[in-house]
Structures are given as C-alpha cells and as structure tokens.
Amino acid sequence: MSLHTQSTKQAKLICVGYGNMARAILEGMIKSKAFQKYEILIVGRDLSKAKNLCDTLAHPHIKPLFADSHTPLDIQDAEVLLCVKPHALRAFTYIGEAHIVYSVMAGVRIATLAETLKAQNMVRIMPNIGALYGKSANCVYVQSNADVDSKIIESAVYKLVNSFGNCVMVSNESLIDASIATSGSTPAFLALVAQSLIDSGIYHGLNYEQSKELVAQTFEAFATLLQHKNPDDIKIAVTSPSGTTARGLATLEKCGVRGAFIEAGITAVNRAKELGDT
C-alpha cells in the first residue's frame, strides 16, 4: 500500500540538492506550515552541506542523507524534489518508484528524467528565488502515468507549489523553458534594473538608503498595478506629453532597452535547452 494512503505513516519528501533554490523552496514550504506531515530528507554527495542546510532550516522533521552513484537512494512511494544542476542528475542512483517527482532543473525534459529514475507522476517546475518568501512565480507541467484521477495529482501538486508561490499550469512541456524568460531568470534581470535606478537616485543627491527604499516601494506598487492594468496602461497613466517620463522613455528606447530584455529572455531560454541536451 502506498504511503499516501496510510494515515498513520508520515509522508516522505526527498530533496536532492542543497543549493539556493532548494533552500528557498524548503523555507517557503516550512513558513507556509502546510507540510508538517512530511519527513524531509536533504540528500547530496557532501553530507556536511546537507547538514548545514538542515541546521539553517531548523525543522524538526528534516534530516541529512548521503547518496551518490555508488550509494543508491531509495525513493519508493516518496515525493522527490530534484534541485540539482542538470549535469548532476546522473550523479545519483535511484531505486524504487516514487509517487511524484518534482524537477526544477532548467532544460531537463521528463523523457530524460525517466531514463534516470522511475515515478508514477512527473512534474516540472520553473520557480524563482522568490520562493524564499513564498512569492515564487511558478510555471508547472504535470505528466501523470499513474492509474489515478489526474485531478487528485494536480491537487497535490497545487498544494505543494502554492506553499512557496503561485502555480501557473501549462499543457505543453516546452512552455516550462519559455517561462525562464518571464519569471525564472527575471529576478536577476530586475535586480539590474533596480540597481540602475538606485544609482540614478544617488547620482542626483539621494543617499543609498533613501534611494533603495524609494525603488523598493516603487517595485511593490508596480506589482500591484500590474495585477489590475496591462503595462501599456501603466505607461500611459504615468507619461505626460513632453514631460519627464516621456523624455526618459525616449532615452530607453534610443538605447534599445526593450530589445535588450527580449534578447536576454531568448538567450536564457536557449541556454536552458542547451543544458538539457548535455
């Protein structure tokens, strides 16, 4: 009998990897308090790093575990969260069949995952670092091979993913890579924008703390505006004829900023596909 049908047995979540994304997702899950039912194992080839992450998370049901290509990892009936770099996927040997495998690896297709480990259900997630505060933008694709109602699986996926952000389901696996351009890599792109705006404020006399606070509040306000208006409407609302914003936008267009962002997204997505093919 699967552990997911046993009310007396604690569910097992195996997190393979202990890097920034693993930490962000697990912290988001813990803060949501929705996954106290799990026994969580943090697995990797460097036990000291796994222990360090356990200490950082300070959750009573989290334990470190060593595994590598010579020490098989038992995933029978477990939920597995793959948070390693694509090249490290085959650094581990898996035995058994997982209930659900969640992968956050850029570019690694489900067909490739299936060559390495077995699972009744495979899920690809493209999160971002916002998971650390429960604010990740998550694009999700689910492939169910189990003889169960797909709505049950999707409900379980929604519950886990929503614990560290939102959950945008797509029906085509290729769209997972596409979301790198909209959300996966964009916190770094937006950080570049934020730093540029902060520097501009400093150039004109604000100190760093003042400039950063104003930019941070503007980003927060913009996020709210974007929930209610499309970008063009926001731009029109701010831009007066021959005003300061119109001059600034003209400079950005002259410098090719819009095209640079589009090209950055295209390049990032193409790189994910390259990583998946290696």
208-247 pLDDT, tens per residue?
Answer: 999 999 999 999 999 999 999 999 999 999 999 999 999 9
Task: Put the strands of the sheet holding 118-126 in their side by side order.
Answer: 62-66, 38-44, 11-16, 79-82, 97-103, 118-126, 139-144, 168-169
pTM of the model: 0.88
CB 61 within 8 A of CB 36: yes
CATH assignment of 186-277, among 1.10.3720.10, 1.10.3730.10, 3.40.50.970, 2.60.40.420: 1.10.3730.10
The label of the residue with tokens 């040997």 reads: 93
Q: What is the per-residue pLDDT across 38-96, written as a single tens digit (0 to 9) for each?
A: 889 999 999 999 999 999 998 888 999 988 878 899 999 999 999 998 888 888 999 99
CATH number corresponding to 3-173? 3.40.50.720
Backbone angles phi, psi at 239, to 5 degrees: -95, 115
Domain ranges (residues) in the chain: 3-173, 186-277
Torsion of CA 40, 45, 48, 53, to 10 degrees: -40
Q: How far apart are the first and last CA of the chain?
A: 38
